[in-house]
């Protein structure tokens, strides 16, 4: 982990933390680390050690328990992701936050929604962006369905703005209804043909495709 610093004291409004994982042979990892450390040093970066990164991965395994705790206090939360070119990352974040707030207000739900985002993977041409949405559901009928409706509206906004249907979470049953918006009729027809040829009994990925 590296932090950008101008002095020994950090300004919480300007500091940046980055967690990195190196995977390859020992020689390649040593080369990658040496290259990164030299670049970081040019920008006054400080190595913060591996402990915080390890805690972050541990937190990933504890999320399910945090969700259970939230449900006991009428808080429902989940994440969804996409990928988009660099030139549209910031505006996408603003648009999705606004759409979620509008959908929340439209349904006259209690309290204020929590919606935030972060860039999780970076590439030459763009980035993966995670969104986190939570709302207070005490007194709300069918809160899971309401949450799904708002997430679907956010996904609609992502597609309208040119974001991907998914980054690495896949499509599955939750997003298959959006497939006709990102695939041509011929592409869906090809998908049907391949599916019927290799899996005539519809065993694999049952119910995950728009053709079913």
168 vs 183: CA distance, rounded Å: 17
The catalytic site residues sit at: 130
State how beta strands 114-122 and 2-4 pair: unpaired
156 vs 108: CA distance, rounded Å: 20
Nearest-5° Cα angle at 136, 134 to 140: 120
82 vs 65: CA distance, rounded Å: 25
Tokens of 112: 């204020």
DSSP codes, 93-145 = HHHHHHHHHHHHHHTT-SS--EEEEEEEEE-SSEEEEEEEEEEE-TT-SSHHH
């Amino acid at each position: 982990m590296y932090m950008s610093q101008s002095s020994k004291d950090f300004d919480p409004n300007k500091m940046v933390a980055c967690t990195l994982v190196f995977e390859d042979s020992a020689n390649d990892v040593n080369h990658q680390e040496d290259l990164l450390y030299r670049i970081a040093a040019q920008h006054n970066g400080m190595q913060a050690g591996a402990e915080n990164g390890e805690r972050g991965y541990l937190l990933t395994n504890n999320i399910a328990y945090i969700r259970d705790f939230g449900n006991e206090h009428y808080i429902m939360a989940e994440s969804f992701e996409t990928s988009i070119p660099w030139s549209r990352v910031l505006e996408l974040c603003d648009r999705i936050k606004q759409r979620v707030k509008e959908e929340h207000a439209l349904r006259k739900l209690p309290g204020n929604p929590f919606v935030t985002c972060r860039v999780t993977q970076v590439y030459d041409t763009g980035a993966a962006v995670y969104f986190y949405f939570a709302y207070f559901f005490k007194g709300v009928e069918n809160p899971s369905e309401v949450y799904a409706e708002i997430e679907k509206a956010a996904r609609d906004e992502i597609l309208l703005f040119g974001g991907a249907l998914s980054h690495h979470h896949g499509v599955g049953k939750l997003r298959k209804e959006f497939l006709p918006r990102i695939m041509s009729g011929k592409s869906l027809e090809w998908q049907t043909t391949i599916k019927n040829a290799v899996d005539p009994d519809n065993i694999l990925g049952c119910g995950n495709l728009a053709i079913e």
